[in-house]
Chain A
Amino acid sequence: MVMVAATTTASHLTSTFLSTPDFCGLSRSLQWPHMQRRCTRKYVPGAISASIDLKPPPYALHALEPHMSKETLEYHWGKHHRAYVDNLNKQIEGTELDGMSLESIISASYNKGDILPAFNNAAQIWNHEFFWESMKPDGGGKPTGELLELINRDFGSFEGLINKFKSAATTQFGSGWAWLVYKEHKLDVPNARNPRPSEEDNKLVVVKSPNAVNPLVWEYHPLLTLDVWEHAYYLDFENRRPDYILTFLDKLVSWETVSSRLEAAKVRVAESEKEMAEIDADEDLDTIEPEDTDMYFGSEAEDAEDFLDDE
């Protein structure tokens, strides 16, 4: 996907499309073409390159006052998030990661735990975009509908979720993130599948992660996040992290976005289960013959063929 690399200013995006749940619910790969068509961006001639963009939050930088100050957003988005984007673009220029979508860069550079240099920047970009979208002016309140049902099912009550989330965010030592994720039921072995998938097995879980790690690498479906790096709350709350967490949960969190992400996650889970079911239905996989019969049977290839023909 070729994306125009342009300088985005910190101006308020008045496109109402961005704040509707439909938009937020679309998976990331679908969002970019919409952005290009609807946003007014400067076209810089000759500067087309496949790079990651700095996406502004779906509200003005002062819109979250007094719970999250404009100064915090100016630094957090305008400096930290921007620096991650610039550094990632420098890092991936000319390498094989150039041109990939952000989520592919994250999984490629996670490298099953042995992280490559691009991981920190890429994951932080994704985390921050997710974080901006998890908040809205006049947020807070309670979730509704299916999300509330699942919360009651998995945490006992809404208060149970709040307590778990608060405790995860408070106990994350050092820098990191606290998440509410939708977890598919999977067996612990990497390539094993749940033989009888059902909706009941998929759970909502609260997890915390250090530094830049996000639950995508654990194959969870994130629904909500809170940035507990100190830069996120130090200007407003100094060291009082619990106050920051409470403010986020009471006044900033956008449960509509979480609900729409939940729906999108369920769709993705259902699709992947369908794919797995199709693979299972395909019987040819069970009778793949080893290409190199000599490996097992020595040089007596005739004996090998007799052996296999018995099936």
Chain B
Amino acid sequence: MSWTCSNYLCLSSSSSSSLIDSHELTLFNRCKLSSEYKELRRKDHDSLRPINTCAYLGLKPPTHKLDKGQRKKDCVLNKPKNICAYYSLRPPSYKFDALEPYMSQRTLEVHWGEHHRGYVESLNKYLEKDDILYGYTMDELIKVTYNNGNPLPEFNVAAQVWNHDFFWESMQPGGGNSPTLGLLRQIEKDFGSFSDFREEFIENALTLFGSGWVWLVLKRNEKRLAVVQTTNAITPLVWDDIPLLSLDMWEHSYYLDYKNNKAQYANVFMDHLVSWNMALARIAYAQSFVNLGEPKIPVA
């Protein structure tokens, strides 16, 4: 499983209903784009796409008979011509009015419905044309298109798709308060106290110039938490760090509700919107990858 908390791949195939038996695929029903992509599929045939570069999840064997040449090949990834996988627009796990009065329904409608959807559609358009990028998973795609600081054109859209999904998950109705259990202990260890951390987070949000994001990350190499500010579409994934929370400081995310009052937006996020449950789940998962505590040396 990758760092994406949601599985993006929306499989559109002609006999979809019989395949839906796993959790991820139930999202297919909500995927508005699937029907659009059915059309695309029919028009622009997969014979143009090399067989061995698709994200084929191997759900069912090909319905067509393999001809002699293909049977002889060792290549297992013989993708049937009617299955394509594209990135889908996953809705937040709460209704649009659930975050009122802190984040209005209209903001969510525009932010998710127009901005996020626009990024997803642009990403899918890029991937249609580029077979190599099409074959990557989301995390790999972000790192590859970041290209160590000299980003390819697909980077902005791919990273923004990921960032926005992460952001919706970092919020919940009835959020705020403070973290608990191990996360609180770790915050106190790395920042001194929760209020110090909160101050640092908000200061980063206010001093960010232009568009960008503020993150609470677990730094993999330093094995500690940190607050990081990034510009435009950059995400801590490109440095291999593990993000736990994010706050979208692009103006589109707060302008309708707070106009230029960034301080109020950041404070409201911290007080009423942030989902510490999600952050706790993420850091618990991260502990499989980063050893945060002292090693437990067994006494013989």
- A, B co-complexed: yes
A75, A176, A239: which contacts B260 (Cβ < 8 A)?
A75
Interface residue ranges, B against A (CB under 8 Å): 110, 114-115, 118, 156, 209-212, 231-233, 250-252, 255-256, 259-260
Stretch in contact with the other chain, from A7-15, A229-237, A296-304: A229-237
A120 touches B209 (CB 8 A): yes
- For the complex with contacts A235-B259, A238-B110, 9 further pairs of A-B residues with Cβ separation under 8 Å are A79-B259, A79-B260, A173-B233, A174-B210, A174-B212, A174-B250, A230-B251, A231-B260, A239-B118
Contact with B along A75-91 (1 / 0, CB 8 A): 10001100100000000
A238 touches B114 (CB 8 A): yes
A175 touches B233 (CB 8 A): no
* Docked CA distance A153–B251 (Å): 38
**A173 to chain B: which residues have CB within 8 Å?**
156, 232-233
B156 touches A80 (CB 8 A): no
* Docked CA distance A211–B211 (Å): 8
B278: shortest Cβ distance to chain A, in Å? 26
B256 touches A234 (CB 8 A): yes
B251 touches A234 (CB 8 A): yes
B260 touches A238 (CB 8 A): no
B232, B256, B259: which contacts A174 (Cβ < 8 A)?
B232
B117, closest chain A residue (CB): A239
Q: Given the interface contacts A79-B260, A174-B231, does A239 sit within 8 Å of B114 by beta carbon?
A: yes
> Does A160 touch B at the CB level, under 8 Å?
no
**B115 to chain A: which residues have CB within 8 Å?**
239
> Does A141 touch B at the CB level, under 8 Å?
no
A230 touches B255 (CB 8 A): yes
**A175 to chain B: which residues have CB within 8 Å?**
210-211, 251
Contact with B along A211-244 (1 / 0, CB 8 A): 1100000000000000001110011001100000
Interface residue ranges, A against B (CB under 8 Å): 75, 79-80, 83, 120, 173-176, 210-212, 229-231, 234-235, 238-239
Q: Given the interface contacts A79-B260, A173-B232, does A231 sit within 8 Å of B255 by beta carbon?
A: yes
**B211 to chain A: which residues have CB within 8 Å?**
174-175, 230
User: Could you list some 13 contacts between A and B, CB below 8 A?
Assistant: A120-B209, A174-B231, A174-B232, A174-B233, A176-B210, A211-B209, A212-B209, A229-B251, A230-B250, A230-B252, A235-B255, A239-B110, A239-B114
**B259 to chain A: which residues have CB within 8 Å?**
75, 79, 235
**A235 to chain B: which residues have CB within 8 Å?**
255-256, 259
* Docked CA distance A210–B115 (Å): 19
B260 touches A83 (CB 8 A): yes
A234 touches B255 (CB 8 A): yes
* Docked CA distance A215–B115 (Å): 29
B260 touches A80 (CB 8 A): yes
B213: shortest Cβ distance to chain A, in Å? 11
B130: shortest Cβ distance to chain A, in Å? 19
**A79 to chain B: which residues have CB within 8 Å?**
259-260
B231 touches A239 (CB 8 A): no
* Docked CA distance A79–B210 (Å): 16
B89: shortest Cβ distance to chain A, in Å? 15
* Docked CA distance A120–B252 (Å): 20
Instruction: Tell which of A173, A211, A229, A231 has the most Cβ of chain B within 10 Å.
Output: A173
* Docked CA distance A75–B251 (Å): 13
B48: shortest Cβ distance to chain A, in Å? 28
**A234 to chain B: which residues have CB within 8 Å?**
251-252, 255-256
* Docked CA distance A238–B107 (Å): 9
B232: shortest Cβ distance to chain A, in Å? 4
**A211 to chain B: which residues have CB within 8 Å?**
209-210
Of all A-B residue pairs in the complex, the 3 with the closest CB atoms, nearest first, are A230-B251, A211-B210, A174-B211
A309: shortest Cβ distance to chain B, in Å? 54
B252 touches A239 (CB 8 A): yes
